[in-house]
Structure 1
Amino acid sequence: MEPGQSYHIYNHANGTENIFLKEGNYLFFLKQYPKYLGDVVDTYAYCLMPNHFHFLVGVKEEFELRKTFPKFQTLEKLVSKQFSNFFSAYTQSFNKAYQRRGSLFMKNFKRSPILNEHQWQETFLYIHLNPVKHGFTEKPENWKWSSWHAYENQGKTSKLNRIYYLNFFDNWTQVKELTETKKQFINTQNLE
């Protein structure tokens, strides 16, 4: 993962298991996330689903990474290592809480580089519409475990970078309009 590059990060539980069984799991995951990743990525969007998750992140610039991690030789490996450490820490905690063993997540997390403005917009909308796509809710604002609420409640503090999206959208009203259009398309696909 390259400094200064945005990525869509996602992963799925092993087999048919869930990675979140109750509210405390979601909360713990979100609490641990900035401990491992706050110094290596800016997070623009996320959605946690019972058996998978999505993040839209931007890897911090090289000078920021070198300032925090001066001895790490290859910054590309640093970012991947921090993600791996985060997933490992969550898995260990989850395994201890539920008396289970082994890997919780698919072996390698997926990362797709965001190569243009359109792809960034689509990924941002896709992440927030994921609960609608999977039939958990009819509206993204009704799903508790996504960054939608941080954008809706700009007055509250957040660890998200909530200004960066304005490089790709005019305002939050435009995001809501585009989301509604895409939601109608998803609902049409689900009826077929």
Structure 2
Amino acid sequence: MQYRRATIKGGTYFFTLVTYKRQRLLCLPTNVCLLKNVFRYVMHQHPFIIDAFVLLPDHLHCIWTLPQGDRNFSIRWRLIKSYFSRQCITPSQENLSTSRQNKKERGIWQRRFWEHLIRDEIDFKNHLEYIHYNPVKHGLVKAPKDWEYSSFHRSVRQGTYDITWGAGQEIVYDSDIAKE
């Protein structure tokens, strides 16, 4: 079966990327800095807008808007994953599968990523909230304002949220909002 991705030139997309075997390596300070630099570098070569972002220890979610006339998010992710993988700090390499060792892969990321074409403003809002509430959902913090690796504070500055949004409440999302 051929896997097909929904692509629209200039579209806005929600993405989920997960580390290989759910390794908890993304929030190590050195890797956070590296990932920021890798994103900047790729954005310079292949522009896009990051509308929302959250980095968790073993996965990330984000919403991107591509330039008009451009629908190639795959090249951007390939470059981000590749550049990051070559330089990141990892746990012991002992747990890599034989097939990945044979291909000289470092086993940092799952091979594929999840993407969803944002359909409208309601869909955008639902995915934005999902991203910002995700650290709470995973029990990492009690409120979105307490998670450092998120675009939540930018959204507060822009007036999208009050700083107390998502604190002291459980937010439940439809199962079609995101895949982890």
Structure-2-length-normalised TM-score? 0.75
Unmatched 5+ residue regions in structure 2?
1-6, 94-104, 173-180
Deviation at 1:177, TM superposition (A): 8.2
2:24 is aligned with what amino acid? N
1:105 and 2:91 are equivalent in the alignment: no
Aligned equivalent of 1:158: none
% identical equivalent positions: 19
1:1-192 mapped onto 2 (5 Å cutoff): 1-20=7-26, 22-38=28-44, 39-62=46-69, 75-76=70-71, 78-94=72-88, 100=93, 102-152=106-156, 154=157, 171-172=159-160, 175-176=161-162, 179-180=165-166, 184-186=169-171
Go from structure 1 to structure 2 and tell me whether the alpha carbon gap of 1:177 and 1:48 turns closer, same or farther (over 3 Å shift): closer
Unmatched 5+ residue regions in structure 1?
63-74, 155-161, 163-170, 188-192
1:26 is aligned with what amino acid? V
| Whole-angstrom distance in 2 between the partners of 1:47 and 1:27 | 14
C-alpha contact (below 8 Å) 2:144/2:166 kept by paired residues = no
| Whole-angstrom distance in 2 between the partners of 1:110 and 1:137 | 24
| Whole-angstrom distance in 2 between the partners of 1:19 and 1:89 | 15
Q: Structure 1, residues 39-63: CA drift from partner, whole Å, max 9, x if none?
A: 431111100000000011111111x
2:62 is aligned with what amino acid? F
Root-mean-square deviation (CA), in Å?
2.5
Deviation at 1:34, TM superposition (A): 2.1
| Whole-angstrom distance in 2 between the partners of 1:110 and 1:129 | 18
C-alpha contact (below 8 Å) 1:47/1:145 kept by paired residues = yes
Aligned equivalent of 1:70: none
Q: Structure 1, residues 82-106: CA drift from partner, whole Å, max 9, x if none?
A: 21111111011126x6674522111
Go from structure 1 to structure 2 and tell me whether the alpha carbon gap of 1:21 and 1:8 turns closer, same or farther (over 3 Å shift): closer
Pick which of 12-21 and 46-55 moved more.
12-21
2:43 is aligned with what amino acid? L
Go from structure 1 to structure 2 and tell me whether the alpha carbon gap of 1:12 and 1:136 turns closer, same or farther (over 3 Å shift): same
- After TM superposition, the runs of 4+ consecutive aligned structure 1 residues lying more than 4 A away are none
